[in-house]
Amino acid sequence: MTFSSIDHPAIACFDVRKLAEWYCKTFGMRVIAQNDAEPPAIVIGFGEKLSGPEALIEMMPVKDAGPNPAETPRFQPGIRHLAFRVSSFDCAFAKLKDAGVAFTTPPGDAVGGGRTILFRDPEGNELQIVERRP
């Protein structure tokens, strides 16, 4: 098939380096690529290279005015959150709590089965952890 997967979402960041560092520290990701611009665009992920099967996220600098992500209503049109699949909800939840993450919802049931919870990154983008049940 011509289309095989989603390569990456992109997050427009007020401080690309700082937010990329937070994602790497919080989720165990690493910087895989970046350009020479100032501020740079950075691609982070769980793998070693851009062509691997692991998830990627592009962090790019904010260049246009718009709403603050922290003030964006949860069910406003558009992409609303980025979900991280976890092997153990309880372990991931505890790690995020220890990292000082403030959750925006209580733990709940994921569509299709499993457990989930929502929170925001330091720039206000909505994130989710989800544990899927086989």
Q: What's 79-131's CATH class? A: alpha beta
CA distance 26 to 28: 6
CA distance 116 to 118: 7
Tokens 């592009």 belong to 58
Tokens 């989800």 belong to 130
- Give me the mean pLDDT over the 79-101 stretch: 95
Give the per-residue pLDDT at 32: 97
Tokens 């937010």 belong to 19
Instruction: List, in sequence order, every residue forming a beta bridge with 84; answer none if it has no partner.
Output: 129
For the chain, give every domain's residue range: 10-61, 79-131
- Taking only the tens place, the pLDDT of each residue in 43-62 is 999 999 999 888 999 999 99
The pair of structure tokens assigned to 16 is: 């690309």
Helices (H), 12-88: 16-27
- Give me the mean pLDDT over the 5-31 stretch: 96
Pairing of the two strands 56-61 and 115-120: unpaired
